[in-house]
């Protein structure tokens, strides 16, 4: 029996495109090694290190496992847990009587100590070789993670007693959007430029290595540079070295500029801290979201390596 070519064909089900937004954090330690980074994440998880995230909400590295994927060797993945804790020492409200709850009222509250409300979880991948910590900014459980707030919480975890004595120095930095630092460097009537850079890892590129050597030679862990416009000129004109230092600060510190709004000539300022870098990963129904994230991170690593090779040695 032949198929009637004129007969209507069944419509194929259209695949739904889904989106994952990843934040990016640089974790830098002195001294540093792959094993030390891996041990830090595992220790934080195994010891259930919890720190305050926002209000009464807490955050912890809730789970981890070795990624075991040749595209990202030595990487680990897992979940960040966010949840709330009740403080029974604080006053409670009895909404029936519209008055403060009494001890008798509170005696009726029976919540086991191991149960906490407002739970959210967010996937992460820690690419240890590149010391980059990627995390989901939005949860399937309708929650979100702020790059700024989570980076602050992660720093608290990394400096907790659980890791005492393991590092001479360890810091986490929310990576700024590439366009943000370029916008700061090209602010209209740029009158002041502030750059703060912490000691980088020596394995990123030659410029990072030169900054690390400069700081180490002076027994310094942080470099701060402030440029202020000279009288009689319209704007600071950053040199190539200053631009490189600012781009490093966008990854490992802070960059802030003060200038004018070209629309009304009123003072304005801009900071990399307010413009974290987001990564958009798109996948379809039926595709493995983790697999797509791994592919995306590998592409980012490959493109970064090409860029570094192209500019290596330029100062």
Q: Which of 84, 83, 80, 82 is nearest to 41 (CA)?
A: 80
Q: What is the pLDDT of residue 82?
A: 96
Q: What is the pLDDT of residue 222?
A: 95
Regarding whether 211 and 91 lie in a shared domain, the answer is no
Between helix 240-252 and helix 206-217 the angle, nearest 10°, is: 80
Q: Which of 142, 173, 204 is the last residue of a domain?
A: 173
Regarding whether 28 and 153 lie in a shared domain, the answer is yes
Regarding whether 167 and 23 lie in a shared domain, the answer is yes
Regarding whether 88 and 61 lie in a shared domain, the answer is yes
Q: Which of 173, 197, 224 is the last residue of a domain?
A: 173
Q: List helix spans (H) across 110-177.
A: 147-158
Q: How far apart are CA 193 and CA 186, in angstroms?
A: 11
- Domain contains 255: yes
Regarding whether 246 and 195 lie in a shared domain, the answer is yes
Q: What is the pLDDT of residue 285?
A: 81
Between helix 240-252 and helix 178-185 the angle, nearest 10°, is: 140
Q: How far apart are CA 221 and CA 255, in angstroms?
A: 17
Is residue 304 within 8 Å of residue 204, measured between CB atoms? no
Regarding whether 193 and 159 lie in a shared domain, the answer is no
Is residue 272 within 8 Å of residue 250, measured between CB atoms? yes
Is residue 277 within 8 Å of residue 176, measured between CB atoms? yes
Regarding whether 241 and 150 lie in a shared domain, the answer is no
Regarding whether 189 and 166 lie in a shared domain, the answer is no
Q: What is the pLDDT of residue 69?
A: 95
Q: How far apart are CA 209 and CA 203, in angstroms?
A: 7
- Domain contains 301: no
Regarding whether 232 and 199 lie in a shared domain, the answer is yes
Q: What is the pLDDT of residue 16?
A: 79
- Domain contains 55: yes
Q: List helix spans (H) across the chain.
A: 34-46, 103-106, 147-158, 178-185, 206-217, 240-252, 289-311
Q: What is the pLDDT of residue 11?
A: 62
Regarding whether 168 and 21 lie in a shared domain, the answer is yes
- Domain contains 2: no
Regarding whether 158 and 88 lie in a shared domain, the answer is yes
Q: What is the pLDDT of residue 313?
A: 44
Q: What is the pLDDT of residue 31?
A: 79
Q: How far apart are CA 292 and CA 298, in angstroms?
A: 10
Is residue 298 within 8 Å of residue 71, measured between CB atoms? yes
The count of other CB atoms within 10 Å of the CB of residue 246 is 26
Which residues span the domain enclosing 270? 178-274
Regarding whether 234 and 220 lie in a shared domain, the answer is yes
Mean pLDDT by 10 residues, the chain (315 residues): 56 74 93 88 96 92 95 95 88 94 90 90 94 92 90 95 90 95 97 96 81 94 97 96 96 97 94 96 89 94 65 44
- Domain contains 72: yes
DSSP state of 85: -
- Domain contains 107: yes
Number of independent structural domains in the chain: 2
- Domain contains 128: yes
- Domain contains 296: no
The count of other CB atoms within 10 Å of the CB of residue 15 is 11
């Amino acid at each position: 029996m032949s198929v009637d070519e004129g007969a209507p064909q069944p419509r194929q089900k259209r695949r739904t495109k889904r989106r994952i937004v990843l934040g990016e954090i640089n974790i830098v330690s002195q001294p540093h090694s792959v094993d030390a980074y891996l041990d830090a994440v595992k220790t934080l998880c195994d010891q259930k290190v919890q720190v305050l995230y926002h209000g009464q909400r807490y955050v912890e590295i809730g789970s981890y496992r070795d990624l075991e994927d040749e595209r990202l060797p030595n990487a680990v993945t897992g979940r960040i847990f966010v949840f709330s804790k009740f403080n029974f020492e604080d006053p409670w409200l009895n909404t029936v009587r519209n008055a403060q709850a009494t001890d008798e009222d509170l005696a009726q509250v029976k919540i086991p100590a191991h149960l906490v409300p407002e739970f959210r979880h967010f996937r992460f991948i820690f690419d240890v070789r590149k010391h980059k910590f990627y995390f989901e900014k939005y949860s399937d459980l309708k929650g979100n993670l702020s790059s700024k707030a989570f980076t602050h919480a992660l720093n608290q975890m990394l400096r907790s007693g659980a890791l005492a004595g393991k590092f001479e120095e360890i810091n986490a930095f929310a990576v700024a959007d590439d366009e943000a630092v370029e916008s700061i460097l090209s602010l209209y009537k740029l009158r002041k430029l502030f750059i703060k850079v912490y000691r980088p890892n020596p394995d990123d590129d030659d410029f990072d290595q030169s900054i690390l050597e400069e700081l180490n030679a002076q027994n310094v862990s942080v470099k701060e540079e402030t440029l202020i416009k000279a009288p009689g000129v319209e704007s600071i004109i950053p040199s190539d070295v200053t631009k490189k230092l600012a781009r490093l600060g966008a990854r490992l510190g802070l960059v802030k500029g003060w200038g004018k709004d070209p629309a009304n000539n009123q003072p304005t300022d801009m900071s990399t801290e307010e413009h974290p870098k987001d990564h958009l990963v798109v996948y379809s129904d039926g595709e493995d979201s983790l697999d797509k994230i791994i592919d995306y991170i590998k592409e980012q690593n490959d493109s970064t390596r090409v860029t570094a090779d192209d500019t290596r040695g330029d100062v």
